[in-house]
Structure 1
């Protein structure tokens, strides 16, 4: 499965493709500690991944786990960044994982939805994305016409698309990794850099 042009920022850019490519898809949740563990290790492989760039495309698949309500909010923020500055998506994802405990259940339980969005917009600013433009895509109006009380925000349609990509292939927990369209259960969140090197060397030819 690939991604439409408007979501091209989900792909980790390394080098231009040369002929056929393998596809590695990482289904990750920003408030999942195991997703953070996998991402934080994988994201350090930039030099190695550049070597595989012509043979491998890597796609970040935002995977919302609704038993953590703030999962939706963090993914909405990532989608806002994806729309405003696609080239910053992976850097912002890295920032989200580094600050993920700030969006855990206990950290947001007494905070309004828009206040959480404000914090997320400030985090977007930390990676060079316009804070006010990010917030404008996220904020929910505090008042509206009677028949327009459940309209969501400016990234709701994008959110529906990423949820559909999960549901259509039945991804449940995170992290889940797909390689060339098939779930790759040999990859664990506890993979070390050396294990990633071995896996890539063996599978990306």
Structure 2
């Protein structure tokens, strides 16, 4: 049985190397968007045989649509080729960030936006049907698992990076791919 059959979202893991880097990202955070744009270039630079890269979705309450968007990403992950569709959804949110975020976290044009309108907006950008998988129990379970994993590792803000199982504050979203690669050792 595949993850599509159960509604369980695919894990957001790329590469298969012995060194593991994990990124905890909130999809509308500008620092997370900047970091996310460097993840695949980092993997290409270091090599999939040397690095395992995993993304954990880390909802933040001050980003008021965060939970809905995290759920939407996990809904995409429950589709066939879910990992890549989730990545496509992360990128779409980042590319159109202002349409998924409140101004100053509490006001602006999105004040009248409903969850259904957000989902429809995201479906337009991704060209994916997210409404049906959005409601799956497996998506709820995955949201809880992402939150639990972050809490178990003391992750409170995003982006946060764990290298080989330990939080590593040396990684910053403003650094280059080459600077990140140098930190890997």
- TM-score normalised by length of structure 1: 0.75
Structure showing greater radius of gyration is 1
Deviations 1:138-169 (A, max 9, x none): 3xxxxxxxxxxxxxx32222211211111112
> Does structure 1 residue 172 correspond to structure 2 residue 181?
no
* Cα drift, residue 178 of structure 1: 0.2
The equivalences for 1:30-109 within 5 A come to 30-49=27-46, 51=47, 53-84=48-79, 85-86=81-82, 87-105=84-102, 106-109=108-111
Counterpart CA distance in 2 for 1:181 and 1:91 is 26
* Structure 2: tracts of 5 or more residues without a match: 1-7, 103-107
| RMSD of equivalent CA atoms | 1.9
For the pair 1:181 / 2:178, whether they are aligned, the reply is no
Structure 1 residues 53-111: Cα deviation after superposition (integer angstroms, max 9, x where no partner): 22221000100001222011111110001001313222322222111221111342111
SS in 2 for 1:23: strand
* Long gaps (5+) in structure 1: 1-5, 139-152
Are residues 89 and 36 of structure 1, via their aligned partners in 2, closer, same or farther at CA, if it must alter by over 3 Å? same
Give the whole-Å Cα distance in 2 for the aligned partners of 1:7 and 1:55.
Answer: 25
SS at match of 1:48: helix
Distance of 2:123 and 2:180 partners within structure 1 = 33
- For these two proteins, the number of residue pairs brought into alignment is 169
TM, length-normalised to structure 2 = 0.82
SS of equivalent residue, structure 2 residue 63: coil
- 8 Å CA contact 1:77, 1:121 repeated in 2: no
Runs of 4 or more consecutive aligned structure 1 residues displaced over 6 Å after TM superposition: none
CA–CA separation in structure 2 for the residues paired with 1:176 and 1:110:
31
Question: 1:170: how far off?
Answer: 1.8
